[in-house]
Amino acid sequence: MKGKDIRILATEVRKDIIQMTLQAGVNGGHIGGALSSVDILAVLYGAVMNVSAEYPDDTLRDRFILSKGHIALAHYAVLAECGFIARDDMLTFEKSGGEFPTHEEMNIRKGIEISGGSLGYGMSIGVGCALAAKRSDAEYRTYVLLGDGECNEGSIWEAAMAASKYNLDNLTVIVDVNGQQLDGYSADVMPIYDIVQVFQGFGFHVVEIDGNDIAQLEGAFAVRCLGKPIAIVAHTIKGKGIPEIEGKTGWHHASINQEQYESFVKQLEEAK
């Protein structure tokens, strides 16, 4: 996938998310947070990570840990666009007996490193991957995607302490700060106040960016800090790419009809 225009990739991934949500019927999908994370995923898979659909289980591959597990449909979409998953298989999202439920099931051959579910534990897995690489002198990096609402989980901060303790400068944590979670705005549900200072307090080198800006994402992923893990605080818009739903509550999880699908695709096309 390296070399493909990242903006085109991001648009195609967003279209896939909308199509999967439509085909899931009443089951719907976590559409808002999936759309906010697309640019992060597109840059990681399109320009940054050392991964290959041809050799998905290469022991030296970079590891991507989707801790923000409910947005699996965004991950499925980017994996399909990059050749890890067949498109027909991707479109079985949320179908009975299929391999692609709302939360991922580990399948290294398809580029899925962990099984998703309860929020908060992906950070610990990422720390374990990064520590294993350090102890075996392997050069792969580990990338962990968190949600800002997910950072209410105490296990995140236990893992953060370990990351600093073991000087895991081969670990990059990305926080998708879209300002919302299941029950409403994060600032109302359980505010973290200044997440940049929180990560700095736990010993991370922090980069704060617009998480829907491709150039800023590329610059952030290039940052290294000897002896310190990296935290990218990526401010995004929930529902990004579809003006009709951008930033609006009620789109954490939703089902859509054919008319909405067509309207959303048109908005994505017009925004390119």
Q: CA 208 to CA 18: how far, in whole Å?
A: 29
Nearest partner of 131 among 118, 115, 144, judged by Cα = 144
pTM, two decimals, is 0.95
Per-residue pLDDT tens for 171-186?
A: 999 999 998 887 777 8
Please report which helix (H) or strand (E) contains residue 175, including its range.
Answer: strand 171-177
CATH number of 6-271: 3.40.50.970
Q: Are 128 and 156 in contact (CB under 8 A)?
A: no
Q: CA 222 to CA 188: how far, in whole Å?
A: 34
What is the structure's pLDDT at 3? 45
Per-residue pLDDT tens for 164-220?
A: 999 999 999 999 999 888 777 788 888 888 999 999 999 999 999 999 999 999 999
In the chain, domain spans: 6-271
Q: CA 107 to CA 115: how far, in whole Å?
A: 8
Q: CA 79 to CA 93: how far, in whole Å?
A: 13
Instruction: Return the higher-pLDDT residue of 271 and 203.
Output: 203
Q: Are 260 and 204 in contact (CB under 8 A)?
A: no
Per-residue pLDDT tens for 80-126?
A: 999 999 999 999 998 888 889 989 999 999 999 999 888 899 999 99
